[in-house]
Amino acid sequence: MSLVTGSRRRDPQGTRDATRSRSSRAPGAAREERAGWLLTLPFLLLFAVFTAWPVIQSVFFSVTDITNRDLRTPFQVNFVAVEQYAKAFGDPVFRQAALNTAYFVLIGVPLTMTVALAAAVALNTGITRFRAVYRLGFYTPVITSIVAVAVVWRFLLHPDSGLVNTVLSWVGIDGPNWLGSTTWAMPSLIAMATWRNFGTAMIIFLAGLQSVPQQLHEAAAIDGANAWQRFRNVTVPILRPTILFVSVTTAIGYLQFFEEPFVMTQGGPLNSTISASMYTYQQFSYGNYGYAAALSYLIFLVIAIVTAVQFRFLSDKED
Amino acid sequence: MTSVGMRSRWWLYLVLTVALLVVITPFIWMVLGSFKTNAELRQIPPTWWPQNPTLDNFRQLFSRLSFGTYFTNSTIVAVVVTAGNLLFCSMVGYALAMLRFRGKKFVFALILGTLMIPGVVTFVPLFVLVANLGLVDTLPGLFLPFLVGPFGVFLMRQFVLGLPKDLVEAARIDGAGEFRIFFQVILPLLTPALATLGILTFLGSWNNFLWPLVVAQTNDTYTLPVALALYSTGQNEQQYGLLMAGATIVVLPVLAVFLIFQRRFIQGIATTGIK
Successive 10-residue mean pLDDT values, chain A, 319 residues: 39 45 58 91 93 90 90 81 92 96 96 95 82 89 91 88 88 89 94 94 89 83 86 87 89 90 88 94 92 93 89 66
Helix A236-255 vs helix A92-123: angle between axes, to the nearest 10 degrees? 150
A206 neighbors A274 (Cβ within 8 angstroms)? no
B170, B106 in Cβ contact below 8 A? Answer: no
> What secondary structure does DSSP assign to B177-191, as a single string?
-HHHIIIIIIHHHTH
Predicted confidence at residue B177, as pLDDT, reads: 87
Our CA-based measurement puts residue B74 at a distance from the nearest CA of chain A, in whole angstroms, of 12
User: B241 in contact with A at a CB cutoff of 8 Å?
Assistant: no
How far away is chain B from the Cα of A319, in angstroms, using its nearest Cα?
23
Confidence of residue B4 (pLDDT cuts 50, 70, 90): low
Q: Answer yes or no: are the C-beta atoms of B141 and B226 closer than 8 Å.
A: no
Question: Under a CB-based contact definition with an 8 Å cutoff, are residues B120 and A299 in contact?
Answer: yes
Q: Do A35 and B99 touch (CB under 8 A)?
A: yes
CB atoms within 10 A of CB A101: 23
Q: How many CB pairs under 8 A join A and B?
A: 333
Report the predicted TM-score, pTM, of the whole model to 2 decimal places: 0.85
- Within a 10 A sphere around the Cβ of A168, how many other Cβ atoms? 14
User: Amino acid identity, residue B172?
Assistant: R
State residue A2's pLDDT score. 36
Cβ contact A190:A182 at 8 Å: no
SS3 at position B160: helix
Please give the C-alpha separations between residue A231 and each of A112, A237, B11, B77, in angstroms, as whole numbers.
Answer: 19, 9, 19, 46
> Touching check for B47 and chain A: CB below 8 Å?
no
Q: Give B56-100 pLDDT, tens digit per residue.
A: 999 999 988 899 999 999 999 999 999 999 999 999 999 999 999
Confidence of residue B165 (pLDDT cuts 50, 70, 90): confident
Of A32, A200, A256, the CB nearest to B101: A32
Asked whether residue B237 carries a pLDDT value surpassing 80, the answer given is: no
B181-230 pLDDT per residue, tens: 999 999 999 988 898 899 889 999 999 999 999 999 999 999 999 999 98
Return the pLDDT at A316: 60
Residue B161 in this model has a pLDDT that exceeds 60: yes
| Best CA proximity match to B143, nearest among B222, B218, B76 | B76
Q: Are A173 and B254 in contact (CB under 8 A)?
A: no
How does residue B47 score in pLDDT terms, banded at 50, 70 and 90? confident
- B 165-194 residues with CB below 8 A of A? 165-166, 169, 172, 178-179, 182, 192-193
Query: pLDDT per residue over B88-131, tens digit each?
Result: 999 999 999 999 999 899 999 988 888 777 777 888 889 989 99
Query: What is the C-alpha to C-alpha distance for residues A279 and B266, in angstroms, rounded to an integer?
Result: 34
Question: A20 — phi, psi (to 5°)?
Answer: -85, 135
Chain B residue numbers touching A13 (CB-CB < 8 A): 100
Task: Tell me, yes or no, if A114 comes closer than 8 A to chain B by beta carbon.
Answer: no
* Eight-state DSSP code of residue B46: P
pLDDT at B9 over 50: yes
What average pLDDT does the segment B150-176 reach? 89
Contact A68, A287 (CB under 8 A): yes
Give the torsion sign (CA, A241, A242, A247, A250): positive
Q: Write the ipTM.
A: 0.85
Q: Which of B128, B174, B186, B209 to mutate to test the interface with A (most CBs of A within 10 A)?
A: B128
The angle, 0 to 180 degrees and rounded to 10, between the axes of the packed helices B191-207 and B240-272 is 150
Residue in B13, B100, B182 closest to A14 by CB: B100
Is the pLDDT score of B275 beyond 70? no
Asked if B127 lies within 8 A of A284 by C-beta distance, the reply is: yes
A236 interface with B at CB cutoff 8 Å: no
Q: What is the 3-state secondary structure (H, E, C) of chain A?
A: CCCCCHHHHCCCCCCCCCCCCHHHHHHHHHHHHHHHHHHHHHHHHHHHHHHHHHHHHHHHHHCECCCHHHCCCCCCCCECCCHHHHHHHHCHHHHHHHHHHHHHHHHHHHHHHHHHHHHHHHHCCCCCCCHHHHHHHHHHHHHCCHHHHHHHHHHHCCCCCCHHHHHHHHCCCCCCCHHHCCCCHHHHHHHHHHHHHHHHHHHHHHHHHCCCCHHHHHHHHHCCCCHHHHHHHHHHHHHHHHHHHHHHHHHHHHHCCCHHHHHHCCCCCCCCCCCHHHHHHHHHHCCCHHHHHHHHHHHHHHHHHHHHHHHHHHCCCCC
What is the rounded average pLDDT of the residues B2-11?
A: 67
Sign of the C-alpha dihedral computed for residues B54, B55, B58 and B63 taken in this order = negative
- Cβ <8 Å between A148 and B110: no
Task: Judge contact between B143 and B212, C-beta under 8 A.
Answer: no
Contact A19 B169 (CB under 8 A): yes
pLDDT at B238 over 60: yes
Nearest to B114 among A51, A148, A163 (CB): A51
